[in-house]
Each structure stands twice: as C-alpha cells, then as structure tokens.
Amino acid sequence: MPVPLARSWWALVLRGIAALLFAALALLWPGLTFGILLVLFASFAILDGSLAMVAAFKAASEKRRWVALALEGLVGVVVGILVFTWPSVSAVTLTYLIAFWAIVTGIFELAVAMRMRRLIKGEWTMALGGFASLVFGFLVAARPGTGALAFVWILGAYAALFGVLLIGLGLRLRGITDDGLLDSSKRDIIQTYD
C-alpha cells in the first residue's frame, strides 16, 4: 500500500470503535455522574492518543511523515492522564481541558486530511472528523458552564460522529489499492514517498 496511513488502517478503525463505545456509554446513560464521565473520557483519550501514536511510529519507521499523528496522539495521552490525575480541579477547568483536546485534535486531523488529499480520493472523512472536533471544542469552550446533561449529550454526539468517520476512513484506506481509491493522477507522486 502506498500511503502510510493505509498501512495502519486498523488503528483508525480501533480509534473509531473506541469513540463509538464511549458515545454509547455517554448517550445510553446520560445520567452518569460527571466523575464517571471524566474517567470514561480519560480512558478514551489515552486509547485514542496511543493508537494515533502507533500509526505515527509505524509511519516514522517507514520514513514517512508522522509528526501530525504523533502530536495528536501525544496531546490525547497527556490530556487523558491529566483528567485522571487531576480530580480536585473544577468541572469548568476539566471542560476547558476537553475543549483544548478537541481543538488540537481537529487541527491535526485537518493537517493529515490535507496531506491525504494529494494522495487519495475520499480524504473528506478525516477532514470532516477534524471539523467536527473543532466545532465540538469551540462549543464546549464557549459554554463551559453548560449543564452536565447537555455536556454529556454534546460529548456523546461528537464521539459517535467521530467514531463513524474514523471507521469509514479506516475501511476505505484498507482497500486503497484494491478498489482504485488511489487517485490515478497522483501515482507518480506516491512513488517518491515509497
């Protein structure tokens, strides 16, 4: 497969599954206490960040561009650890931390989507995921004092959309050489990356 992210398609699918599981818990049990929700979010952020870093290390070992994925992963792991280890901080501060994570994640996802645009068709799923992350982050940052139930619904809806988009992208990348997903006009560019 010519695109580094395509070799790690399974990491995107796992990230998507983790997001959907988190969304299901948040949306099916919206009455969860804020503390339990934060533990779930921290677990998701660490898992999501770890999987992004796995994809980045794989790309780096193949001498391909990996910085955006590694930074996205690092931010996810650090924010997850901070949420776990900072229980005494206020709910508003934790909400800002989650908003920061979403905004940074969105920026790096958009950066990866722009790089993918030059190589494959269908990068819009990563771009849409990045856009969703940015919108969620800015919504949460703009209204950090929103009620806990509203926050749970917003967080759950974001995680569900993000999960579906990541799974869709992962499955599309899985078949990149089989179904002609690769833009034929870009095949020469790809050869320079191999």
DSSP H helices, 32-147, are 34-61, 67-85, 91-117, 124-142
State pLDDT tens for residues 95-115: 888 888 889 888 988 887 887
Residue 119 pLDDT:
65
Give the residue from 48, 47, 66 showing the smallest Cα distance to 5.
66
Phi, psi of 162 (to 5 degrees): -60, -45
Is 51's pLDDT higher than 70?
A: yes
Q: What is the largest CA-CA distance in the chain?
A: 55
**Residues facing residue 50 across a β-bridge:** none
Contact call for residues 55 and 49 (beta carbons, < 8 A): no
State pLDDT tens for residues 113-169: 887 776 666 667 778 888 888 998 898 888 777 666 677 788 888 889 888 988 888
Higher pLDDT, 142 or 5: 142
Where exactly are the structural domains of the chain?
A: 4-193
Residue 108 pLDDT:
83
Cβ partners under 8 Å of residue 153, min gap 6: 26, 27, 30
The SS3 assignment for 120 reads strand
Confidence (pTM): 0.64
